[in-house]
Structure 1
Amino acid sequence: MSDRTFFGHPWGLATLFGTEMWERFSWYGLRAILATFMATSPAHQGLGLSQETSQAVVGVYGALIYLVALPGGWIADRILGARRSVAWGAFVIMLGHISMAIPVTSPFFVWLGLALIITGTGLLKPNIAVMVGRLYPEGDDGRRDAGFSLFYLGINLGAFFAPIVVGWLAAGDRWHLGFGAAAVGMALGLLQYLWGGRNLSGVGEHPSLRLTPRERRRFGRFAALGAALIVIALGVWAATGTLTIDRLTVAITVVILLVPIAYFAYIMLGSHDLTEDERIRMKAYIWLFVAAAVFWMLYDLAPSKLLFFAADHTDLSLFGVPIQAATTQSFNPLFIMIFVPVFAALWMRLGTRVSTPQKFAFALVVVGLSFVVMALAAWLAGAGRVSVWWLVLVYLIQVFGELSLSPVGLSVTTKLAPEAFKGQMLGIWFIALSVGDAVGGQTGRLNRVLSEPMYYLVLAAMAVVAGVALFMFTRRLRVMMAEHHEPAMR
């Protein structure tokens, strides 16, 4: 076994760090140009969709990425193991980007590519994080937390550089060159993963609870039946002549909304040997889940609504240097890398004097205020293009909200989850992002009746009202969560 370390951590972390960095490069690179590509006319090599439809597609695409993390984790646990799941996931993602990079006018390869990327991400995303945790022995919590911090840095490095590189390559209607860069990024990540596999010390090689032959046959029949029903339903819908991209995104959004409703009903209405305290904590968690979904509904409009604003209404230059609209998608990860240590130190200093509901409420108010700034920018843009620094300010404000909500989301999920649902509940946190992305994608329809400034103000009001309500019920939620308040230090 090698004695090499990666900044004091097992060398296997370097393999996973690089794989995740390149995977995020491919994901954020595609995301930075997807909406504008779809809304560009076919004369300029785009799909010619409306901005409203493009926003809805990007919304459900992001939503499905998070939703498939649940079955992806299950497949790793019961069939493939985390290690093979990540390898196959990376391979399928690469095929998806290659499909989108094929320079043909037919949209078939675009939709096929998105479907492959969603499928591959479901296999890779949840399982590579699991492998990071398993690199460390039991009880080595300090190094494990530090290892995840390095891993998080890799995510944001990929997210920062991807929009710059892919946006530059895709400029001048060279969309497929941009998609090709994302494919190359994922190929590099896959090669590094396969080459560095010997450094993983057997982590994730086998499923934690492999299906028996009987269970495998039953799963195969169930999967085949489910796929057949979806194909038949879509075929019948198409035969009626009423199937459109817009209607399909609405249908997917409704399904995504039903998933957490059904899951929470299953937990709360079944017995499952839940104690009364566990039921009370789950009621508190449902409110936090809704708050998180509202937050992501606004926050994840960055690759659609805010990207369109950058392209159509801003003077795209920073310090006199011309930039692409896609480059504005790099502002967020840059600010995250700058402020993560600041907020980590702040929460450590404040301890439990600031409760989880208060952090969530603050995040909602902050993301709402960012859209008040967007409303002002949109109003000024009525007289001509505005400075791109308006978007810099918006993303800066939003990062303060993200760092108040996102890092504590998984933590509070594990804390409030009933004992019988500890493992499953981790996936529920990602469904909050899925719901937010899907609903946010549909909000573009508000522009049929609202002006641009009013669109942003309506969403801002929703977030601020939700945040204020959460502040008002903080004491009650803390009691339900059994979260104790520490007196302020004098």
Structure 2
Amino acid sequence: MVQLDQRVRFKSATSIISIEMWERFSFYGMQALLVYYLYFDVAAGGLGLDQTQATGLVGVYGALLYLCCWAGGWVSDRVLGAEKTLLGGAISVTIGHLMLAGLGGKIGLAIGLGCIAIGSGFVKTAAITVLGSRHGEQEGDAKADPAFQLFYLGINVGALLGPLLTGWLSSRYSFEMGFGAAAVLMIGGLGIYAALRKPMLQSFPLEVKKALLRAQNPAEKHVVGTAFAAVAVLCGVLLYLLLTETISADQLAGALLLITIGAALWLIIQPLQHPQVSAEEKRKVLAFIPIFICSTAFWAVQAQTYGVLAVYSQERVDRMFGEFEIPAAWSQSLNPFFILALSIPISLWFMRGSRTPSVKIGISVGVIIAGSGLLVLIPFVGMPLAPVWVLPLSVFLISLGELFIGPGGMAATAHHAPRIFATRFSALYFLTLAIGMSIAGNVSKFYDPTNHTSELRYFAVFGISIIVIGVGSLMVAKKVG
């Protein structure tokens, strides 16, 4: 009977794994083209924006996506329920890709990216909830469930293959063809989910099915209406300001950085002032601050792979392999490739028992490694073109740092969270990504691939600053013990 239950659970997981994999496939495939689409000349199929404005917008988009994870959690808990939030998010992503491929131009870009950011945030939030709910009230550790391993594998496979397909199509044909491929893939993923949705829901225990299909803490109708109206008005105003160039990408990136930092400060200060939070819990909240800073610093570096390093791949790397020119967008597949290749060795190393470094030390070391990923580019400043292996080396170091920081950051967030703030405190981890993306968007305006002095200063100052943060955190971690 246990084996039968496990088979039913695993079968029900296939639809969730499928929709997440295809969503990631289409998302990373689109993201690999985004910065090029923004700054390439109109004659080359792009929008002709300034390169610094393009990298700034990529940072803004990344930050908005992770802020939408918050919105997804609220919609799931207070409005639709997890499963309907997942389905609605997938539909929103599909519409976004269709807008990019079919409508085109600045209007298609604004509407498309908005739909994708909202949809991806909803899918990210709801997919894990639905997948974990397959256990119902039965005993068992969801983290030991092989479906979660396949879920994570699907994310990285999608992230690896998406840029390879869309990058080749855009370089061989057009950006529209690349965006169209992302749309087709997402439509296919949505179709698979729709076909498997009914049997998936039927496999759940009745009480779990009811919980997934309705809000657990329903908000009053006027609250929901006000929230959605406010979001619609805000999106409309931002769309108008961007299309009329009343507000620049730099200004939007700066405003978003202030908003995300303010939200993080609020989440940290709130438990420190709450009477039901014990003195020991408050001490743990304060001890989390260096971890928060380190995680934010890392994601600011990692976000370079979508912006500045994507430009570096196009403008500064010799991509000729015989008579074949490697598409610049293929550089976006380096990070998921290294994550897949390094995950098992790093996991085995972390399983060494007493010799394993503490989470705080591991995160600090990860930041130092990631910062060095920018410094390795410095010797090639001033060369007409950097060798093809230089960028993979840089991304390798950033990816290695990610394996120290990503799992450790999530574990540290859970460990330091006060009991009554457990869920809200976990949102701090997503805020490190949002703030990191915002920082990347703000500093990218200082990168100029045509100016050797500017390029040297950018990689040196940014890389050394990140390493200093890591070293400082390491010293604090060793002192505290």
Alignment TM-score, normalising by the size of structure 1: 0.89
Flag the 1:367–1:128 CA change in 2: closer, same or farther, 3 A. Answer: same
The AA in structure 1 aligned to 2:253 is T
Contact 1:5 1:11 (8 Å CA) reproduced: no
Contact 2:301 2:398 (8 Å CA) reproduced: no
Q: Choose 252-261 or 216-225, whichever is displaced more.
A: 216-225
Q: Deviations over 1:255-306 (max 9, x none)?
A: 22222122222232x3241000100000111221111000110111101111
Task: Provide the secondary structure at the position in 2 that maps to 1:388.
Answer: coil
Q: Choose 248-257 or 328-337, whichever is displaced more.
A: 248-257
Deviation at 1:26, TM superposition (A): 0.9
The AA in structure 1 aligned to 2:269 is A
CA–CA separation in structure 2 for the residues paired with 1:451 and 1:42? 26
Deviation at 1:428, TM superposition (A): 1.6
- Aligned residue in 1 for 2:271: 267
Contact 1:274 1:418 (8 Å CA) reproduced: yes
Q: Deviations over 1:321-372 (max 9, x none)?
A: 5320011111111111111111111111145741111011101110111111
Asked if residue 279 in structure 1 is aligned to residue 286 in structure 2, the reply is no
Contact 1:102 1:176 (8 Å CA) reproduced: yes
Q: Choose 244-253 or 398-407, whichever is displaced more.
A: 244-253
- Aligned residue in 2 for 1:205: 212
CA–CA separation in structure 1 for the residues paired with 2:431 and 2:454? 31
CA–CA separation in structure 1 for the residues paired with 2:468 and 2:70? 31
Contact 2:166 2:178 (8 Å CA) reproduced: yes
- Aligned residue in 2 for 1:254: 258
Deviation at 1:133, TM superposition (A): 1.6
Deviation at 1:230, TM superposition (A): 6.7
1:367-386 matched pairs, under 5 angstroms: 367-377=370-380, 379=381, 382-386=382-386
Asked if residue 359 in structure 1 is aligned to residue 362 in structure 2, the reply is yes
Q: Percent identity, aligned pairs only?
A: 29
Task: Provide the secondary structure at the position in 1 that maps to 2:112.
Answer: helix
The AA in structure 2 aligned to 1:267 is P
Deviation at 1:240, TM superposition (A): 11
CA–CA separation in structure 2 for the residues paired with 1:125 and 1:337? 20
- Aligned residue in 2 for 1:221: 226
Deviation at 1:81, TM superposition (A): 1.1
The runs of 5 or more residues in structure 2 that have no matched partner are none
Deviation at 1:221, TM superposition (A): 2.5
Contact 1:37 1:47 (8 Å CA) reproduced: yes
Task: Provide the secondary structure at the position in 1 that maps to 2:351.
Answer: helix
CA–CA separation in structure 1 for the residues paired with 2:113 and 2:424? 26
1:429-440 matched pairs, under 5 angstroms: 429-440=429-440
Task: Provide the secondary structure at the position in 2 that maps to 1:292.
Answer: helix
CA–CA separation in structure 2 for the residues paired with 1:142 and 1:18? 19
Asked if residue 323 in structure 1 is aligned to residue 326 in structure 2, the reply is yes
Q: Choose 315-324 or 411-420, whichever is displaced more.
A: 315-324
Contact 1:361 1:467 (8 Å CA) reproduced: yes
Deviation at 1:53, TM superposition (A): 0.7
Contact 1:164 1:330 (8 Å CA) reproduced: yes
CA–CA separation in structure 2 for the residues paired with 1:330 and 1:451? 27
The AA in structure 2 aligned to 1:160 is L
The AA in structure 2 aligned to 1:167 is G
Flag the 1:327–1:288 CA change in 2: closer, same or farther, 3 A. Answer: same
The AA in structure 2 aligned to 1:199 is M
CA–CA separation in structure 1 for the residues paired with 2:349 and 2:73? 33
The AA in structure 2 aligned to 1:366 is I
The AA in structure 1 aligned to 2:340 is M
Flag the 1:60–1:336 CA change in 2: closer, same or farther, 3 A. Answer: same
Contact 1:4 1:11 (8 Å CA) reproduced: no
- Aligned residue in 2 for 1:471: 474
Q: Choose 302-311 or 438-447, whichever is displaced more.
A: 438-447
Contact 1:316 1:388 (8 Å CA) reproduced: yes
Flag the 1:123–1:230 CA change in 2: closer, same or farther, 3 A. Answer: closer
CA–CA separation in structure 1 for the residues paired with 2:245 and 2:338? 47
1:478-489 matched pairs, under 5 angstroms: 478=481
Contact 1:370 1:398 (8 Å CA) reproduced: yes
The AA in structure 1 aligned to 2:200 is N
1:156-195 matched pairs, under 5 angstroms: 156-172=156-172, 174-195=174-195
Contact 2:19 2:189 (8 Å CA) reproduced: yes
- Aligned residue in 2 for 1:483: none
Q: Deviations over 1:20-45 (max 9, x none)?
A: 11000111001101001101011212
Flag the 1:396–1:240 CA change in 2: closer, same or farther, 3 A. Answer: closer
CA–CA separation in structure 2 for the residues paired with 1:239 and 1:142? 46
Flag the 1:475–1:289 CA change in 2: closer, same or farther, 3 A. Answer: same
The runs of 5 or more residues in structure 1 that have no matched partner are 479-490
The AA in structure 2 aligned to 1:308 is V
The AA in structure 2 aligned to 1:253 is L
- Aligned residue in 2 for 1:485: none
CA–CA separation in structure 2 for the residues paired with 1:151 and 1:413? 22
Flag the 1:318–1:261 CA change in 2: closer, same or farther, 3 A. Answer: farther
Asked if residue 18 in structure 1 is aligned to residue 18 in structure 2, the reply is yes
The AA in structure 2 aligned to 1:195 is A
CA–CA separation in structure 1 for the residues paired with 2:17 and 2:6? 10
The AA in structure 1 aligned to 2:45 is Q
CA–CA separation in structure 1 for the residues paired with 2:444 and 2:322? 32
The AA in structure 1 aligned to 2:169 is L
Deviation at 1:209, TM superposition (A): 1.7
Flag the 1:475–1:49 CA change in 2: closer, same or farther, 3 A. Answer: same
Contact 1:166 1:179 (8 Å CA) reproduced: yes
Matched positions, count: 470
Alignment TM-score, normalising by the size of structure 2: 0.91
CA–CA separation in structure 1 for the residues paired with 2:239 and 2:319? 42
- Aligned residue in 1 for 2:248: 244
Flag the 1:315–1:81 CA change in 2: closer, same or farther, 3 A. Answer: same
